[in-house]
Amino acid sequence: GTGSDFHPTALSIGYNADGAPSLTAVNRHRDGEVSVEVYTVLYDAKGATLRSESSVTGGLARRAGGVAALGNGRFYLAANPTHSDFMAAADRWLLLGRADLLFFNGQMFREAVNGLSDPSAVAVSPDGSRLFVASRGERRLLALSRDIYTGTLTEKDSLSLPMRPERMSVDANGMLWIAGPTRLPSLSQDSTVVRVVVGADGKPVSQETVYAGDGIKDATAAVKTDGHLFVGSSHDDKLLDCALK
164-219: pLDDT as tens digits: 999 999 998 999 999 999 877 656 678 999 999 999 999 999 999 999 998 998 89
User: What is the structure's pLDDT at 83?
Assistant: 57
pLDDT tops 80 at residue 82: no
Rounded to an integer, the average pLDDT of 217-235 is 91
Q: Looking at residue 96, what is its pLDDT?
A: 61
Which of 56-60, 130-134, 205-209 has the lowest average pLDDT? 56-60
Residue 187 CB neighbour total at 10 angstroms: 9
Size of the chain in residues: 245
pLDDT band at 12 (very low <50, low <70, confident <90, very high): very high
Q: What are the tens digits of pLDDT across the range 17-47? A: 999 999 999 999 998 888 999 999 999 888 8
Q: Positive or negative CA dihedral for 139, 145, 146, 152?
A: negative
Give how far Cα 93 sits from Cα of 10, 103, 188, 227, Å: 21, 25, 17, 37
Residue 94: pLDDT band with limits 50, 70, 90: low
Q: Is the pTM of this model over 0.85?
A: yes
- Residue 118: predicted pLDDT: 83
**Adjacency order of strands within the sheet including 21-28:** 8-15, 21-28, 34-44, 47-56
156 in Cβ contact with 201 (< 8 Å): yes
List the strands of the sheet with 130-135, edge to edge.
119-124, 130-135, 140-146, 153-160
Ramachandran angles phi, psi of 41, nearest 5°: -90, 120
Q: What is the DSSP letter of 226?
A: T
| 80 vs 115: which has the higher pLDDT | 115
Percent of the chain with pLDDT over 70: 91
Selected residue with higher pLDDT from 97 and 150? 150
Residue with more model confidence, 153 or 187: 153
Q: What sign has the CA pseudo-torsion 191, 136, 54, 6?
A: negative
Host H or E run for residue 88: helix 85-94
